[in-house]
Amino acid sequence: MDPSAERRYVITLSCPDTTGIVARISGFLADAGGWIVEAAYHSDHSPSDPTTGWFFTRQVVRADSLPFDADELRDRFSAVAAEIGPEARWTVTDTGVPKRAVLLVSKEPHCLHDLLGRVSAGELPVQLDAVIGNHEVLGDIVRAHGVPFHHVPFPADGKPAAFAELRKLVEEHEPDAIVLARFMQILPAELCEAWAGKALNIHHSFLPSFVGARPYHQAHARGVKLIGATCHYVTADLDAGPIVEQDVIRVDHGDTAADMVRRGRDIERLVLSRGLRWHLEDRVLVHGNKTVVFR
């Protein structure tokens, strides 16, 4: 059996920084017989301003090393988290339970093609439940992969009803990730709040530069030498949510705006797939408008 396929329990925790947190968690797992296969830590504690310090950790334990299941692990770890402090935020997930995702699309196919291919090849740890588009043009691509496709039109005078239908279709799947794979509609504030920490967007720009529409054309007009893409969580502040992943590619004075768009699509594919993977593997911890990503 491939060791990478063995069942794991993933524990994440963030809390105000103090002494003894690592010892408390590792002691708890050791006492239970837990075999830790990954352990990552980060503290943004600043000696000059200790009131802002925060601690983050991600622990991965072999499931077969514990004498109880994930539900009991959650029950027992809740007591540990309570001892650490009332502000502690934590999760316990089981890699034996597939994460679920819904994709939102418009007309651009490149990110959709990439994600469908990675899911089909088993490269992403996710069960893709549905793709929802505000246009019908990508439906055949989706259905060819055996994934349900739903068309929800967004007429200019009927967007509230369209968003209500979109929300209904998404939430009936109870997804762990809602991926805006070049979905060219701005989510209303109530959806941003309902899907906080689950809705991921790919923005075709290296944020915070060139927000909004046509960023490659903005970049071309500015004469930049690097263009990029950003995967971020969706918030009510347009293109300003916590950043999960970014990457860039070099361009030069000979590149047209169309060249930048073409090259940018390659970066968008990579950045979105990486960001989605980090999210699905519980590697992203959000604190305010920043993230800690344990890669």
DSSP 248-267: EEE--TT--HHHHHHHHHHH
> What percentage of residues in the chain have a pLDDT greater than 90?
78
Question: Does 208 sit behind a cis peptide bond, omega within 30 degrees of 0 on the bond before it?
Answer: yes
Axis-axis angle for helices 21-31, 70-84 (nearest 10)? 150
The sign of the torsion formed by the CA atoms of 195, 207, 262, 265 equals: negative
217 pLDDT more than 80: no
**Per-residue pLDDT, 238:** 83
Tokens of 120: 């089909």
> Distance between CA 167 and CA 171 in Å, rounded?
6
State the pLDDT confidence band at 208, using cuts at 50, 70 and 90: low
> Distance between CA 232 and CA 197 in Å, rounded?
10
117 pLDDT more than 80: yes
- The string of pLDDT tens digits covering residues 159-169 is 999 999 999 99
**Per-residue pLDDT, 259:** 82
4 pLDDT more than 70: no
Pick the closest to residue 181 from 199, 201, 167, 165 (CA basis): 201
* 1-10, 15-24, 258-267: segment of lowest average pLDDT: 1-10
- The string of pLDDT tens digits covering residues 32-71 is 999 999 999 998 876 545 556 899 999 999 999 999 999 9
Active-site residue set = 239
Domains contained in the chain, CATH given? 3-94 (3.30.70.260), 99-293 (3.40.50.170)
Tokens of 186: 């701005």
**Per-residue pLDDT, 101:** 98
Amino acid found at 3:
P
State the pLDDT confidence band at 251, using cuts at 50, 70 and 90: confident
**Per-residue pLDDT, 225:** 77
5 pLDDT more than 60: no
- The string of pLDDT tens digits covering residues 65-104 is 999 999 999 999 999 999 999 999 999 999 999 999 999 9
